[in-house]
Chain A
């Protein structure tokens, strides 16, 4: 069974078609990259998989581990192992970062029939995951993302991913706004989570991130359609030639 099977997905936002028939199959352990110019529908794809409101699926289906993903509530998708590392993680004033992560983990555990972790056990788990991400301890005591730098926000996303151990991780432009050092740290964090069980969908505008997170497959999204798929070499080709030649080809 595929982990994720998207068939002919059409999505509109405010009545305007954004995704125009996407089909994509991801097997367990695979890393797929989706590249494309701005406005091609990359972020729409990530949000529709995560379940955000305001995205209307007008046709097509998405099967996740044999279940109809589109039937599930946002939090049910999370419990089932879907995780979206957001392009713009929001700041949540007054919501403590550690408490937030423990509430999230325990919501997963409860949904999956496991007992919740107490504060001590959770802190132990948190410390284990913190190491590679070089995240300052004080960020745990702060409010979620409040006053975090761009890089800290992205690392905080990866920390949540490490805590929640998803089956399908969607990284939405995780490289945006990162300098090269921060990018390396984030990529190390992501690579540490690669496993034969876990699949990833890496959405990016630039090839740069893919130097650090090596994809198995690369897809080019333009005007709401996947216009080209290939191996990692496709990303290099795009880096060299840009998107224009493909867009012409597709037209």
Chain B
């Protein structure tokens, strides 16, 4: 596939993005300039690049997406309200086309030591965004997409939790594509910073208008100080024509814990790229979830987990449900460095293929240079067990419903990771819709 658009075609658009209201901070202009420079010199990764071997980034350069800031006024509060599902207690943030919408957010009652808000309001030296601040977890120069995100930076979400603060109410963030008349580029930027022994539960949704054609190019960083604990659920259900790339970096200091779940359901082309870096011993990562692939859909989970220090534990478990003639990818690499003695690392991917002409590329890899480690990796690709289908049919359930129940069952197991029943239901409904013609009886659920 030859790209129809070059990265440099975005330069003009991104350069002339309207500045956010008020004075543009100097650091922002600097960060954007860096991004523009990188973008100008960036190439579209080809399949020759190891990390894009299965993905083919050319797909994202088949058409030009207009870099705009969208129109948050088009969002109706009542519609938004229905999308939240982490409970009435949750602090709420709405980000429309990458820009925070304070009027739709509700942050009353945030305790001292907690900041949730726009990156722009974060002062002179926001973490990770300027040369003088603590480093990037996702470098703008990583690839053409991170450069593009930096070049278009004009807002973002900054969450900081101070030392010792345990936020007992979850924070729920809606990233919305408002949809416009032309295919648009939206570039959310998130920075989450947890202080020493701080803890929070973060629920993120990436959603778009059903008919929207857009490219959501998100960059998120999660920085955990010693003893911090972040529970992070991400629900992605972009539009059928939507493109979605979420590049994420997680950094864990000593004794910290990151529990991350991904429910990647939507989009025409979607990829989660997750880097995990341990910088102190005895930290723990529990990563897992579900990706689904329907007709013509591409969905990619790309993991890079580096154990560079001793005694850390990472556990990654993803399930792939391929229900249409599309393509799924689980490309995960775990690196255990020479000094990372006593590491424990596991990576597993189980896939269910419901159709013959779907494709799955699963490559869980381990690279181990330490000698005292406990590591495992594995992948399975299977079809529904005929004995299971027979059992259901022998109870009078027709084959199509039987297969749907079993496929949902396979996917539903990942919902054990979700502590919010309503979010579980939301994902469940999305799955039922994807698997087609749900019969009313099974949709009503059980008592």
Do A and B pair up? The answer is yes
Binding site for B on A (CB under 8 A): 50-53, 73-75, 77-79, 83-84, 86, 89-90, 92-96, 98-100, 102-108, 111, 116, 118-120, 122-123, 140-141, 143, 160, 164
Q: What are the residues of chain B within 8 A of A102 when measuring CB–CB?
A: 441, 446
Q: Are B409 and A79 in contact (CB under 8 A)?
A: no
Partner of B409, one of A73, A89, A94, A123: A94
Nearest-Cβ distance from residue B134 to partner chain A, whole angstroms: 42
Q: Are B406 and A92 in contact (CB under 8 A)?
A: yes
Cβ-based interface call for B444 (8 A): yes
Q: Are B390 and A96 in contact (CB under 8 A)?
A: no
Q: Are B410 and A123 in contact (CB under 8 A)?
A: no
Q: What are the residues of chain B within 8 A of A123 when measuring CB–CB?
A: 447
The count of A-to-B residue pairs whose CB atoms sit within 8 angstroms is: 99
The closest CB in chain B to the CB of A104 belongs to: B395
Q: Are B394 and A51 in contact (CB under 8 A)?
A: yes
Interface of B is mostly: helix
Q: What are the residues of chain A within 8 A of B211 when measuring CB–CB?
A: none
CB contact under 8 A between A92 and B445, given known A75-B398, A78-B395 = no
Q: What are the residues of chain A within 8 A of B386 when measuring CB–CB?
A: 53
CB contact under 8 A between A50 and B394, given known A100-B405, A103-B441, A103-B442 = yes
Cβ-based interface call for B387 (8 A): yes
Interface size of B by CB at 8 A reads 31
CB contact under 8 A between A92 and B396, given known A98-B446, A107-B401, A143-B409 = no
How far is A116 from B397 in the complex, measured between Cα atoms in Å? 13
Q: Mark B365-399, 1 if CB is under 8 A from A, else 0.
A: 00000000000000000000111101111111111
CB contact under 8 A between A78 and B393, given known A103-B441, A106-B441, A119-B445 = yes
Q: What are the residues of chain A within 8 A of B441 when measuring CB–CB?
A: 102-103, 106, 116
Cβ-based interface call for B9 (8 A): no
Q: List 6 A-B contacts (CB under 8 A).
A: A74-B390, A78-B396, A83-B394, A90-B385, A90-B388, A119-B445
Query: 16 more A-B contacts (CB under 8 A) besides A51-B393, A94-B413?
Result: A52-B390, A75-B398, A90-B387, A90-B388, A92-B405, A93-B413, A94-B412, A95-B405, A95-B409, A100-B392, A103-B439, A104-B392, A105-B396, A119-B444, A140-B446, A160-B395
Which 3 pairs show the lowest CB-CB distances between chains A and B?
A: A94-B409, A78-B396, A104-B395
How far is A240 from B47 in the complex, measured between Cα atoms in Å? 74
Cβ-based interface call for B6 (8 A): no
Cβ-based interface call for B166 (8 A): no
Q: What are the residues of chain A within 8 A of B245 when measuring CB–CB?
A: none
- Which of A53, A83, A102, A103: most chain B CB closer than 10 A? A103
Cβ-based interface call for B411 (8 A): yes
Q: Are B405 and A75 in contact (CB under 8 A)?
A: no
The closest CB in chain A to the CB of B445 belongs to: A99
Which residues of chain B in 429-447 are interfacial with respect to chain A, using CB atoms and an 8 Å cutoff?
A: 439-442, 444-447
How far is A214 from B391 in the complex, measured between Cα atoms in Å? 27
Q: Are A74 and B413 in contact (CB under 8 A)?
A: no
Q: Are A86 and B391 in contact (CB under 8 A)?
A: yes
Cβ-based interface call for B335 (8 A): no
CB contact under 8 A between A104 and B411, given known A92-B391, A116-B441 = no
Q: Are B391 and A89 in contact (CB under 8 A)?
A: yes
Q: What are the residues of chain A within 8 A of B396 when measuring CB–CB?
A: 75, 78-79, 104-105, 107-108, 111, 164
Nearest-Cβ distance from residue B320 to partner chain A, whole angstroms: 15
Q: Are A75 and B393 in contact (CB under 8 A)?
A: yes
Nearest-Cβ distance from residue B217 to partner chain A, whole angstroms: 33
